With several copies, the nearest count.
Chain A
Amino acid sequence: MSIFIDKQTRVLVQGITGKQGSFHTGQMIAYGTKIVGGISPGKGGQTVEGVPVFDTVFEALEKQPVDASILFIPAPYAKDAALEALDAGVKIIVLIPEHIPLHDAMEIMAYARQKEAVIVGPNTFGLVSSGSCKIGIMPNRYFIPGPVGVVSRSGTLCYEIVGHLTDSDIGTTTVVGLGGDRVVGLNFIDVLEKFEEDPATKMIILVGEIGGSSEEEAAQYIANSMTKPVIAYLAGRSAPPGKRMGHAGAIIERGRGTFESKVKALSEAGVKVAELPMEIPLLVKAALAKA
């Protein structure tokens, strides 16, 4: 089982003819994702990795239904491409690019809310329902089916943690990257809700970091509404205040978004916060044994 996407999900790749777009199209197909088309204005009629290329999203939707779209589009043009997908009726949009202007991101989110669509990212590695559908840029081999749901603000750190699980023969249901920007679409709570409902997901790993308040909000949600065990890892304990740690959203401002505040909130919600990534497989095994 999985949340948001599964092997029926029909996926479009916006910016398919670029270097990243074409490479990851190949990777996604290799994983088993049903890529039904690509978009590249002016290049309609070509094919990339066997996938037909269209000039516009509307054109692609004339040919077949589409459930989700992934964007490999330079940041200055990402808003236009995202609005196009939303306007055309695509309901799940994965925004890979980093450095999308903050105000563009807010405009995308406002329109997505109108269209009741889900935005993943920006600045995300995407999401993957293990063994059936990957819409993202994560390395294929670590994502094997299993009982653990994972939701993370960062990419490589999430692979590191999932890698530890894989080494311990623990698989995942769905792994969702929220994205490292200050304004992102899906947040922890949206994903936790879905995991809570998903019968295949027995427990959840939450990978957070400093900055913003989404871990604190997640903690409140967990305390009030979740029955499944959640364990967490948080990055940025050693980060100085006022500095952006790689992610636009990873910054402690005016005493808000600190590591301590997040650990406190999560611990109080009954979430076990791991000190080191390597501890996670043991914590997971313990939780699964109880679940």
Chain B
Amino acid sequence: MKLYEYLGKELFYRYDIPVPHRKLIESAEEATEAAAELGNVVIKSQVLTGKRGKAGGIAFAADPGEARKEAERIFKMELNGLKVEKVLVEEKLQIDQELYLALTVDGAARCPVVLVSLDGGMDVEDVAEERMVRWPVNITLGLQDYMVREICRLLGVTGDLKKEFIEFLPKLYRLFRELDAELAEINPLALTPAGLVAADAKVTIDDDALYRHPQLPRIKEKTALELKAEELDLAYVELDGNIAVMANGAGITMATLDMVQHYGGAPANFLDFGGGADVERTSKAIELLLGTSPKVLLINIFGGITRCDVVAEAFVRVRESKGIDLPVSFRLVGTNEAEGRALLGKVGIKAVTSMDDAVRHAVELSVVSK
């Protein structure tokens, strides 16, 4: 779960990490008062997308009038398809240097990793590898002072800035660990005359650990369908094509999409309904796909824990209760295959046994039905 910048900064504040003085506003009118209080300000759209600056979603204002004007403009914007509903008005920092700091998970090392660079404020992808210090943290030790000293040495940082780092980094690490973060990124980390200040905040919380953090807000950046899929515990991603795809297992679902593309078709979605779903959940998954009005429905079942008869029964049930008025390409093999085929046979559906055949057939159907 990605957090808006203003929420990330609230968490920073709670962890004693310096952040600029700021006000969250929900209408342009509020910008006047905020700017009157804060002086020179930065006006920042609160949307969950990168590159807000380049897209015009961040503006500076020297007085309340200008602040209001810019806020008005920003509230009317859409960034990467996302509406601006909240805006952060912040004191403009006096920045001597822009740095980069993040904590994230190193999958290969299987542990947290600190990323620090003296080149901040730019896209992190643009930071030269050799200008980025990566320090994997032994999770049983946590981030100890000596590690920060070593990071400083590798960066060539000494004196006051080193002291700042020794104070700053462990706080971010604590937040990262205690809140089950996947990412806690500060870019830029501003070096000001008063010390280090988090000029931005990008915090992502592990969805699988959200249950441990009832105090955190729940951010919904998903579409209505994705939310519905989430409720059903389905792995679902909306795509641009017209062939609705469902399969059991993440890898095989990806492979099915790849194969659709390989044969010239366009998948409408990714839907992995997992292993061991019952008739009820499987029916719901099929209904969800039908709701997206695709041209063709492609079901690819390689039954292991998933039972073919359960999938067939769910299909028949939806067909009878809601109707399925679009062409279907069905592949069905594995556990209880015969029972499944028998059920489908009764409603005139003949499932194939090869994934390749099923996908090619679905692509053909999608071309025909155009």
Contact = CB atoms under 8 A, between A and B. Distances in A.
Q: Is there direct touching of A and B in the complex, by C-beta distance under 8 Å?
A: yes
Interface of A: 20, 41-42, 44, 55-59, 75-76, 80-81, 83-84, 87, 99-107, 109-111, 114, 125, 137-139, 152-160, 163, 180, 182-185, 187, 207, 209-210, 212-214, 217, 233, 235-240, 243-250, 254-255, 275-278
A58 B153 CA distance: 10
Given A214-B108, A246-B235, A254-B125, A83 B141 contact: yes
Contact of B251 (A87, A114, A158, A217): A158
B139 A246 contact: no
Q: Is the interface of B mostly helix, strand, loop or mixed?
A: mixed
Contact of A155 (B125, B260, B304): B304
A161 to B, nearest CB: 9
A228 to B, nearest CB: 23
A245 B237 contact: yes
24 contacts: A56-B150, A59-B150, A59-B153, A81-B146, A83-B141, A87-B146, A106-B112, A107-B139, A137-B275, A139-B304, A154-B250, A156-B249, A182-B107, A209-B250, A209-B251, A209-B254, A212-B108, A237-B258, A244-B235, A245-B253, A247-B251, A254-B125, A276-B259, A276-B262
Contacts of A105: 110
Contacts of B158: 42
A96 to B, nearest CB: 10
- Measured as residues with beta carbon below 8 angstroms from the partner, the interface class of chain B is 35 or more
Closest 8 CB pairs of A and B: A154-B251, A246-B250, A156-B249, A157-B251, A84-B146, A101-B209, A235-B254, A246-B235
Contacts of A249: 107
A236 B252 contact: no
B208 A102 contact: yes
Contacts of A83: 141, 144, 146
Nearest to A76: B211
A153 B351 CA distance: 28
A80 B153 contact: no
Interface in B317-345: 333-335
B122 interface: no
Contacts of A101: 180, 206, 208-209, 212
A183 B146 contact: no
Given A156-B302, A183-B110, A249-B107, A240 B239 contact: yes
Nearest to B334: A139
Given A55-B149, A276-B356, A277-B355, A106 B110 contact: yes
A106 B251 CA distance: 23
Interface string B282-326: 000000000000000000001111100000000000000000000
Contact of B355 (A152, A160, A180): A160
Nearest to A81: B146
Contacts of B150: 56, 58-59, 84
B46 interface: no
Interface of B: 105, 107-108, 110-112, 124-125, 138-141, 144-147, 149-150, 153, 158, 162, 177, 180, 182, 206, 208-209, 211-212, 235, 237, 239, 247-255, 257-262, 267, 270, 272, 275-276, 302-306, 333-335, 354-356
Contacts of B262: 237, 275-276
Contacts of A103: 139, 177, 180, 206, 209
B11 to A, nearest CB: 16
Contact of A20 (B111, B206, B250, B276): B276
Contacts of A154: 249-252, 254
Contacts of B239: 240
Contacts of A138: 304
**Which interface residue of A44, A87, A255 has the most chain B CB atoms within 10 A?**
A87
A29 B250 CA distance: 27
A275 B247 CA distance: 19
A239 B257 contact: yes
B250 to A, nearest CB: 3
A108 to B, nearest CB: 9
Nearest to B253: A246
B261 A238 contact: yes
Contacts of B255: 157, 160, 233, 235, 277
B209 A250 contact: no
A46 B257 CA distance: 46
Contacts of A100: 208
Contact of B111 (A99, A106, A243): A106
A98 B334 CA distance: 22
A102 B144 contact: no
B254 A109 contact: no
Contacts of B335: 139
B107 A246 contact: no
B144 A84 contact: yes
Given A102-B182, A109-B110, A246-B270, A237 B261 contact: yes
Contacts of A156: 247-249, 251-252, 275, 302, 304, 306
Nearest to B180: A103
A99 B208 contact: yes
Given A87-B138, A102-B182, A250 B304 contact: no
Given A84-B144, A101-B208, A214-B108, A245 B304 contact: no
A17 B139 CA distance: 31
A200 to B, nearest CB: 25
Given A76-B211, A102-B182, A159 B149 contact: no
B304 A137 contact: yes
Contact of B237 (A102, A125, A243): A243
Contacts of A159: 302, 304, 334
A111 B253 CA distance: 33
Nearest to A58: B150
Contacts of B334: 139, 159
Contact of B258 (A106, A153, A213, A238): A238
